[in-house]
A = this chain, B = another copy of it.
Amino acid sequence: MSGPIEFFFDFSSPYGYFASCIVDALGERHGRDVVWKPIMIGSAFKASGNQPLVGQPLKGAYSIRDWERLARLWQVPYRLPDPFPIATLAPSRITWWLAESDPRQAHAYARAVFHAYFAEGRDVSQLPEATALAAACGADAGQAAAVAADPAWKQRLREETDAAIARGVFGSPFLMVDGEPFWGADRLWMVEAWLERGGW
């Protein structure tokens, strides 16, 4: 099989951001497309009983430290944004909207959103930021703003999230390769092994 790698994430997830920085190259090494799928991680947390990392005793402090060292190791620009975490409904809905007509544009937009939030500290939950980034990718800012408030695109994001959860997705990042689930930026080495061997 050589279907696309499905890359599920929430724009507010640092581990999702780190994965986003290397997942395309991973796909390229193995001749696989990577389909970026933003979801509402809050819904996945409700379904799985998970909690946001920051605020958890011990694990929260560990995560903050781990994000910093991961950024140094993978040499990607990063600083913990403020505010953090944020609600990422607007850029998520805009991504799904863009994907409908132009998957490449959606991909470029999603990359730009992650970068704006985690490398530049821009609050992408805010409509002006989310739409400016869409405009920078060649989309119409006014249309993007309308999409962010459109019940149809709210519904689409909800459906994509529910469908992901129904397939077992419970965190960000979460990758599906030939139906095989991989959770976490710290599991990309295993995805690579899976692709190299065609499973095991």
Contacts and interface: CB of A to CB of B under 8 A. Distances in A.
Nearest to A50: B59
Interface stretch (A125-133, A142-150, A182-190): A182-190
Nearest to A197: B73
How many copies the complex holds: the figure is 2
A38 to B, nearest CB: 19
Given A69-B200, A73-B200, A183 B62 contact: yes
Nearest to A199: B69
A78 B168 CA distance: 24
Nearest to A166: B58
Contacts of A200: 69, 72-73
Contacts of A48: 56-59
A131 to B, nearest CB: 34
What 3 A-B pairs are tightest by C-beta distance, nearest first?
A58-B170, A48-B58, A186-B186
